[in-house]
Amino acid sequence: MSDVTPEELKKRVEVERIKDASNYLRGTLVKSLNDPLTGALADSDTQLSKFHGIYQQDDRDLRDERRRQKLEPHYQFMARIRVPGGVCTPDQWLQVDRIANTWCNRTIRLTTRQAYQFHGIIKRDLKRTIAEVNAALLDTIAACGDVNRNVMCNVNPEQSRLHEEVFEYTRRISEHLTPRTTAYHEIWLDKELVATSEKKDEEPIYGKHYLPRKFKTAVAIPPSNDVDIYANDLGFIAIAENGRLTGFNITVGGGMGMTHGEPETYPRLADVIGYCPKEKTLQVAEEIVKIQRDFGDRTNRKHARFKYTIDDRGVEWFKFELNKRLGWVMEAPRPFTFEDSGDRYGWVEGINDTWHFTIFIQNGRVLDTDDYPMMTGLREIAKVHAGDFRLTPNQNLIIGRVSSKQKPVIDALLKKYKLSGSIHQSGLRLNSMACVAFPTCALAMAESERYLPSLLTKIEAIMKEAGLEHDPIVIRMTGCPNGCARPFLGEIAFVGKGPGKYNLYLGAGFHGERLNKMYRENIGEEQILAELTPIIHRYAKEREKGEKFGDFVVRTGYVKAVLAGKEFHI
């Protein structure tokens, strides 16, 4: 992709100019890291660090206190570790655990995109932390930023053979879409890959300006839609015949983020545009990314996601453009069925005499508390486990591929450290997710991870009263409308508006096939409970056989069904 003219660059948003001047994402990061007077990076470098998987944050609980103390904010960094498909080795788990306890805030955050997040790294430890992540054969490059992020894949323990093949494609997609710049190795690993010689950085897919906005890719294996395929910019739905992969249905244009009070921004579910044989997977992925690279709006970050590129021009335009670039015409999508988007907790049998145990991890936060030594337990398991660890798209963890011989050993450890007890929760809690929000996320308007557990306890009481203790309802909370916990796919969802205040959304489809809709705006806990109580009781009494909560509230008219992103606010 050729350089843009100065006039064109001038029209674009600031971040585009920062990318332009960054020499393939270097910026002045090295200088920023070495500045001993501040715990922060230079402003422009905070944009570039994201491409390296690093977010500058600060402890917002301390912000006012430190301002009065004439100290700068308590700057710290979040580093996101890419784990394509969420699968890693026990040894990698041990390294992640060690790094979290050495350089971070002694917790590991499992994300909704199957990545690890470290929080609380201070600037002078950052380089060493990233180096240690890489030494564990993991990395953080492109975990954030205007590039393709961590590629998700269904964890599917039941169909292990198919999963192995699909997972291999996931890995290849991830690799193919990873930026080629050597800045990452140069800055964090002291590897001078681009010497003073004539060899220069190149980005054959992205070009020097990368994408206009973040880009998310997921791979689903029906009937599970745990990856929330429709919430992704680009999706691959595995199509199998006789248990063997033949190809993928392709989805485009999904995305969660919006801005309060700006109806021209909205969440959108992806369209299924066709089927591609598995051999063409990488070509399709690359061309779709390139279309967004060339057509995405670089003059407005709130209108830069792929979903707007498609909505502005129409899906038919997109298919035409894609086929033109592919040089062949994509087939019509093949039939498939999704049943749910949740995890299967507890022991599940796979193939070849292997077993998988899914642990419920509230909001994905791995840590030790006085009465629940979760982090220690997982460490002890990692020391003896020969299989793998799988991060689920619902922020949970699977101890995967346990041989039947090892099963009693793992089972004993799960019991010893109270991990097996984690799954004995209400159906509501087991299907809940919250984003990080306070105190570290700069975007949060309201609490999320620190608040949802206590709110759930109160809703659980209502559910119990209604006799719905074990019924699964997808319930999600985020501190802002950017959508990290995919709130617009919750049957019940809370999106932060201000301190203690949330918009209440109802009516998404149970397996992620329909967006929800705002039911009440800007309400606090008391009103949340007052609004939900009669609906839950009525659901208990009036639901049809097998009817999900999200479908029920639509049928009974609490909210209208949202059939397209553009209808979200109407």
Partner 1 sequence: MQKQLPDRTQTPFNDEQYRNFQQLATTAAPEQLAWLAGFLTAWSGSAAALPVGGGGASDITILVGSQTGNGEKLAEQTLKLAASRGLRASVKKMGDYKLPQLKTEKNLLVIVSTHGEGDPPDNTKELHGFLFSKRAPALKDTHYAVLGLGDSSYEFFCKMGQDFDRRLEELGATRMVPRVDCDVDYEGPAEAWMDAVLAKLATRVEAAPVASGMAFSAAPAASTYSRKHPFPAVVLENLCLNGRGSAKETRHVELSLEGSGLTYEPGDALGIYPTNAPDVVESLLVALRFAGGEPVTVEGRETSIYDALFRQMEATIITRPVLQKYAALARNPKLDELLDEQHKKALTDYLHGRELIDMVTDFPAELSPQAFVDCLRKLPPRLYSIASSLKQHPDEVHLTVATVRYNSHGRDRKGVCSTFLSDRIGEYTTVPVYVDHNSNFKLPADPSRPVIMVGPGTGIAPFRAFVEEREAVGATGKNWLFFGDQHFMTDFLYQAEWLKYLKSGVLTRMNVAFSRDQQEKVYVQQRMLEHGADLYAWLQDGAHFYVCGDEKRMAHDVHNALLAIVAKEGGLGAEQAEEYVKNLQKEKRYQRDVY
Binding segment toward partner 1, per CB under 8 A, in 3-11, 69-77, 380-388, 440-448: 69-77
Q: Cα(212)–Cα(299) distance, rounded to whole angstroms?
A: 9
Query: Residue from 2, 70, 190, 279 that binds partner 1 (CB under 8 A)?
Result: 70
Site string for partner 1, 124-163 (x = CB under 8 A): x---------------------------------------
Instruction: Show the DSSP H helices in 280-356 as ranges.
Output: 281-295, 306-313, 315-326
Q: How far is the CB of 42 from partner 1 (least distance, A)?
A: 12
Q: What letter would DSSP give residue 489?
A: G
Q: Cα(357)–Cα(414) distance, rounded to whole angstroms?
A: 9
Q: Cα(192)–Cα(196) distance, rounded to whole angstroms?
A: 9
In sequence order, the 6+-apart residues with CB closer than 8 A to the CB of 88 are: 96, 138, 388, 389, 390, 391
Residue nearer to partner 1 on the CB measure, 56 or 92: 56
- Say how many residues touch partner 1, by CB under 8 A: 16
Contact of 491 with 471, CB cutoff 8 Å: no
Query: SS3 of 346, please?
Result: strand
Q: How far is the CB of 31 from partner 1 (least distance, A)?
A: 14
Of the listed 50, 484, 486, 517, which one is catalytic?
A: 484
Residue nearer to partner 1 on the CB measure, 36 or 557: 36
Q: How far is the CB of 57 from partner 1 (least distance, A)?
A: 14
Contact of 149 with 214, CB cutoff 8 Å: yes
- Residues recorded for the chain: 570
Does 546 engage in binding with partner 1 (CB under 8 A)? no
In sequence order, the 6+-apart residues with CB closer than 8 A to the CB of 208 are: 1, 3, 19, 20, 24
Q: How far is the CB of 366 from partner 1 (least distance, A)?
A: 23
Query: Residue from 68, 405, 541, 545 that binds partner 1 (CB under 8 A)?
Result: 68
Can 149 be counted among the known catalytic residues?
A: yes
Contact of 422 with 373, CB cutoff 8 Å: no
Residue nearer to partner 1 on the CB measure, 120 or 483: 120
Q: How far is the CB of 70 from partner 1 (least distance, A)?
A: 5
Query: Euclidean distance between the first and final Cα of the chain, in Å?
Result: 39
Longest Cα pair distance anywhere in the chain, in angstroms?
A: 74
Query: Residue from 62, 94, 315, 409 that binds partner 1 (CB under 8 A)?
Result: 62
Interactions with partner 1, residue window 283-342 (CB under 8 A): none
Can 216 be counted among the known catalytic residues?
A: yes
Q: How far is the CB of 36 from partner 1 (least distance, A)?
A: 6
In sequence order, the 6+-apart residues with CB closer than 8 A to the CB of 127 are: 33, 187, 188
Binding segment toward partner 1, per CB under 8 A, in 70-78, 166-174, 526-534, 540-548: 70-78
Q: What is the DSSP string of 102-137?
A: HHSSS-EEE-TTS-EEEEEE-HHHHHHHHHHHHHTT
Residue nearer to partner 1 on the CB measure, 71 or 564: 71
Of the listed 80, 127, 268, 429, which one is catalytic?
A: 80
Interactions with partner 1, residue window 410-439 (CB under 8 A): none
Binding segment toward partner 1, per CB under 8 A, in 34-42, 99-107, 360-368, 502-510: 34-42
β 475-478/432-434 pair status: parallel
Contact of 539 with 472, CB cutoff 8 Å: no
Does 74 engage in binding with partner 1 (CB under 8 A)? yes
Does 33 engage in binding with partner 1 (CB under 8 A)? no
Does 42 engage in binding with partner 1 (CB under 8 A)? no
Does 31 engage in binding with partner 1 (CB under 8 A)? no
Does 71 engage in binding with partner 1 (CB under 8 A)? yes
Q: How far is the CB of 449 from partner 1 (least distance, A)?
A: 21
Does 67 engage in binding with partner 1 (CB under 8 A)? yes
Instruction: Name the strand (E) or helix (H) holding 66.
Output: helix 63-68
Site string for partner 1, 79-118 (x = CB under 8 A): ----------------------------------------
- The tokens for 15 are 């971040």
Residue nearer to partner 1 on the CB measure, 124 or 560: 124
Q: What is the DSSP string of 256-297?
A: ----TT-TT---BPPEEEEEEEGGGHHHHHHHHHHHHHHHS-
Does 201 engage in binding with partner 1 (CB under 8 A)? no
Residue nearer to partner 1 on the CB measure, 44 or 92: 44
Does 66 engage in binding with partner 1 (CB under 8 A)? yes
Angle between helices 315-326 and 281-295 (to 10 degrees): 120
Can 480 be counted among the known catalytic residues?
A: yes
Q: How far is the CB of 71 from partner 1 (least distance, A)?
A: 5
Q: Cα(441)–Cα(21) distance, rounded to whole angstroms?
A: 27
The residues binding partner 1 (CB under 8 A) are 36-39, 62, 65-72, 74, 122, 124
Catalytic residues: 80, 149, 214, 216, 435, 441, 480, 484
